[in-house]
Chain A
Amino acid sequence: MKNSIAELIAKKVKGKPEAYIAIVGAFIIIFIILLAIFAPFIAPYDPIKSVGKPLTPPNDEFIFGTDSLGRDFFSRVVYGARIPMIVALLSGTFSLLIGAPLGLLSGYIGGKTDRVLSLLMDSIYAFPGLILAIAIAAVLGPGIMNMALAITVVYIPTYFRMVRGQTLSIRESLFVVAARAIGARDMTIMWNYILPNVIPTIAVVFSLNVADAILTEAGLSFFGLGVAAPTPDWGFDLRSGRVYLPAGYWWLVTFPGIMVIIATIGFSLLGEGLSEILNPKLKEE
């Protein structure tokens, strides 16, 4: 079974060297997810217990040093993968589940419904996403679910616009016209004829959105609108480390930030690569 999947991927990738970036991206994502799941086995110490002298620079015992409360910073960075990944994947999924069906419906039905929905979505889309997320998170208060909800609202229009646009063009294609001619119901057409053709795009958008959502989550946590202390979280640890920066405690900001960037790059690469594998037409050259 494993072999056949590997073969399938190999077949897809063959002759498209740029698709390798999708595989690199996938490996980075798997690495981060494993880090999040197996944090208790990887982290040498409890991330919320003081185990050493505060603000010890990286050494053999504490490879990322310790923070201002003497907690092992490596353990915090490992555990810190959990909340960003959960929040980014949850919000990506929620906004997909809301945005994509709305886009499909709006594009298929057309008319007034379409115009109203499009205007609504365009308005949200035009607004700076992070600022909208800040407003919602501020009203909802801290917490994983609240953060995920705040970020969900930001990305619904992305799916809506993409799926709607594709539905508009697929709706006019011959096989849909034929299906309608033999009397297929609207639900059948949307579900069996249009949706399968939109899924590749959704996959690309999902991956790029999660990349962006990781940055937004880190932003909210950095502003103190995410989880409450002492939960380890990259954005929040960056916020705590900021105070110690002028004194030269470089490790407190360097490591969590690098993890945010690695995770983001993983999903960006996967998205870029997927779009080259799935939609050769979109290729820039």
Chain B
Amino acid sequence: MASLKSYIITRTLLAIPMILILLTIVFLVMRVMPGDPVRAILGAKAPAEQVEALREQLGLNKPLIYQYFDTLSGILKGDFGRSLIWGRRPVIDEIMDHFPATLELTIFSFIISVVIGILTGVASAYNYKTFKDYFFRLYGIVTYSLFIPWFGMILQMIFGVYLKLLPIGGRIDVFMEPEKITGLYVIDSLLTMNFPALVSALKHLALPSLTLGIVLSGIYTRLTRANMIEVLRQDFITAARARGLPEKVVVFKHGLKNAFIPILTMMGLQFALLLAGAVLTETTFSWPGMGSFLLERITYRDFTTVQGTIVFFAFFVVLVSLIVDIIYAFLDPRIRY
């Protein structure tokens, strides 16, 4: 177990330069690239003294290297600065208002993508080189090429506009919000036994999470298929069948279990795609998460908030990849430094 411990420590230490690099990139993008945030905020015709005042207020008049360390030390203390608009709230508070919505959407989409992906992948491998196999392979290629806003709007059109079964935007009906505990409406309404809120939350969640889940499921279809074909050819599968085990047990318990590690690895790599997809899904469905928030603030030229949100995304990605890697190390004893 000593090697597992040292793996976790090494892996955690490696996350630090990664965060620093991402912070530096974000800083460079926001400050050094052409384009002046102050001019962008105030407009090109603002009087010079007003420009100077804002520049000083934002600390933009200091040399770049000072600005860099100011930003960095602020972020490391958990201070993401203040929004430039609407009451100038601390950026981190604004982020925390929108983060649960994104988390809820990504969790449900993730579950949908894995379930659909694994089932179609197994079906494809099991029916190797038959019509079903070709169908699911096509499914894998086409879903990956789907443009999320388009697919989302087609679902909105069918289930929202024509069939009128599901809402096409928002997170929950007005005045239905459950008492805030975790910020995830499904969990909060369950915890407070607020079933009307639960139904409303699930109805609103259905289309966005299906959209994102289906688009991302193709990758799991392809991966599961490739690994299952390999596994189903092995002797222990034949042996399991010879022992007269039911086909379902052979395929899922003996087969899938052994094809699972590469699928798990993909789940970690997929996380960045899941977040990027969430930004597109949120905008399509007016889902009040981090993505909609980020784009809204870009239109208002609220640069401190935009920078803070991007930095938060960076932290989130590094943290998740760290957690995923540690989970693998527990599951697969071969993974060690």
Which of chain A's residues have a CB closer than 8 A to the CB of B280? 130, 219, 222
Which of chain B's residues have a CB closer than 8 A to the CB of A191? none
Chain A CB within 8 A of B105 CB: no
Whether A138 touches B306, Cβ cut-off 8 Å, given contacts A119-B17, A222-B283, A245-B157, is: yes
For chain A, residues 211 to 225, give those with C-beta under 8 angstroms from any C-beta of chain B.
Answer: 211, 215, 218-219, 222-225
Nearest B residue to A216, CB-CB: B276
Bitwise, B153-171 to A at CB < 8 A (1) or not (0) is 1101100111000001000
Which of chain A's residues have a CB closer than 8 A to the CB of B141? 265, 268-269, 272
Number of contacting residues on A, CB 8 A? Answer: 49
For chain B, residues 14 to 30, give those with C-beta under 8 angstroms from any C-beta of chain A.
Answer: 17-18, 21-22, 25-26, 29-30
Whether A284 touches B226, Cβ cut-off 8 Å, given contacts A130-B279, A246-B161, A268-B141, is: yes
State the Cβ distance, B206 to closest chain A Cβ, in Å: 17
State the Cβ distance, A10 to closest chain B Cβ, in Å: 24
For chain B, residues 183 to 232, give those with C-beta under 8 angstroms from any C-beta of chain A.
Answer: 226, 229
B35 touches A139 (CB 8 A): yes
B149 touches A140 (CB 8 A): no
Whether A238 touches B149, Cβ cut-off 8 Å, given contacts A126-B18, A219-B280, A284-B226, is: yes
What's the Cα separation between A211 and B162 when bound, in Å? Answer: 32
Which of chain B's residues have a CB closer than 8 A to the CB of A223? 283, 295, 298
Chain A CB within 8 A of B33 CB: yes
For chain A, residues 190 to 234, give those with C-beta under 8 angstroms from any C-beta of chain B.
Answer: 211, 215, 218-219, 222-225
What's the Cα separation between A140 and B33 when bound, in Å? Answer: 7
A260 touches B283 (CB 8 A): no
What's the Cα separation between A250 and B155 when bound, in Å? Answer: 11
Q: B147 touches which one: A215, A268, A272 (CB < 8 A)?
A: A215
A139 touches B29 (CB 8 A): yes
Q: A129 touches which one: B25, B276, B306, B321 (CB < 8 A)?
A: B276
Q: B313 touches which one: A124, A128, A268 (CB < 8 A)?
A: A128
What's the Cα separation between A123 and B318 when bound, in Å? Answer: 9
Chain A CB within 8 A of B126 CB: no
Name the residue among B17, B33, B142, B147 with the largest chain A CB count within 10 angstroms.
B147
B147 touches A135 (CB 8 A): no
What's the Cα separation between A211 and B22 when bound, in Å? Answer: 26
State the Cβ distance, B81 to closest chain A Cβ, in Å: 16
For chain A, residues 241 to 281, give those with C-beta under 8 angstroms from any C-beta of chain B.
Answer: 241-242, 245-246, 248, 250, 253-254, 256-258, 260-261, 264-265, 268-269, 272
Whether A242 touches B149, Cβ cut-off 8 Å, given contacts A128-B272, A134-B279, A134-B295, is: yes
What's the Cα separation between A248 and B156 when bound, in Å? Answer: 10
Chain B CB within 8 A of A144 CB: no
A245 touches B317 (CB 8 A): no
Which of chain B's residues have a CB closer than 8 A to the CB of A41? none
Which of chain B's residues have a CB closer than 8 A to the CB of A222? 149, 280, 283
What's the Cα separation between A127 and B141 when bound, in Å? Answer: 23
What's the Cα separation between A260 and B298 when bound, in Å? Answer: 25
B25 touches A224 (CB 8 A): no
Which of chain A's residues have a CB closer than 8 A to the CB of B35? 139-141
Q: B284 touches which one: A120, A135, A139, A242 (CB < 8 A)?
A: A242
For chain B, residues 120 to 154, give those with C-beta under 8 angstroms from any C-beta of chain A.
Answer: 141-142, 144-151, 153-154
Q: B321 touches which one: A126, A242, A258, A260 (CB < 8 A)?
A: A126
Chain A CB within 8 A of B234 CB: no
What's the Cα separation between A122 and B29 when bound, in Å? Answer: 17
Nearest A residue to B147, CB-CB: A260
B153 touches A242 (CB 8 A): yes
Which of chain B's residues have a CB closer than 8 A to the CB of A120? 21
A211 touches B157 (CB 8 A): no
Chain B CB within 8 A of A63 CB: no
A126 touches B154 (CB 8 A): no
Q: A135 touches which one: B226, B283, B310, B317 (CB < 8 A)?
A: B310
Which of chain B's residues have a CB closer than 8 A to the CB of A132? 29, 310
For chain A, residues 155 to 176, give those with C-beta under 8 angstroms from any C-beta of chain B.
Answer: none
Which of chain A's residues have a CB closer than 8 A to the CB of B276? 128-131
Bitwise, B307-330 to A at CB < 8 A (1) or not (0) is 000100110011001000000000
Bitwise, A133-160 to B at CB < 8 A (1) or not (0) is 0111011110000000000000000000
Chain A CB within 8 A of B256 CB: no
Which of chain B's residues have a CB closer than 8 A to the CB of A138? 298, 306
Nearest B residue to A246, CB-CB: B161
Whether A127 touches B314, Cβ cut-off 8 Å, given contacts A265-B142, A284-B226, is: yes
What's the Cα separation between A261 and B25 when bound, in Å? Answer: 31
B147 touches A218 (CB 8 A): yes
Which of chain A's residues have a CB closer than 8 A to the CB of B156? 245
A136 touches B29 (CB 8 A): yes
Nearest B residue to A137, CB-CB: B298
What's the Cα separation between A129 and B30 when bound, in Å? Answer: 16
Chain B CB within 8 A of A285 CB: yes
Counting from the closest, the 4 A-B pairs by CB-CB distance are A257-B150, A130-B276, A128-B276, A264-B145
Question: 19 more A-B contacts (CB under 8 A) besides A123-B25, A242-B153?
Answer: A126-B22, A126-B272, A129-B272, A130-B279, A131-B276, A134-B279, A136-B29, A139-B35, A141-B35, A215-B145, A222-B283, A223-B298, A241-B153, A245-B157, A253-B150, A260-B150, A264-B145, A284-B226, A285-B229
Residue contacts A-B, CB under 8 angstroms, 30 given: A119-B18, A127-B272, A127-B313, A128-B313, A128-B317, A130-B276, A130-B279, A131-B275, A131-B310, A134-B279, A135-B30, A138-B298, A140-B34, A211-B145, A215-B147, A219-B148, A219-B149, A222-B280, A238-B150, A238-B153, A241-B153, A242-B153, A253-B150, A253-B153, A257-B153, A261-B142, A261-B146, A265-B142, A268-B145, A284-B229
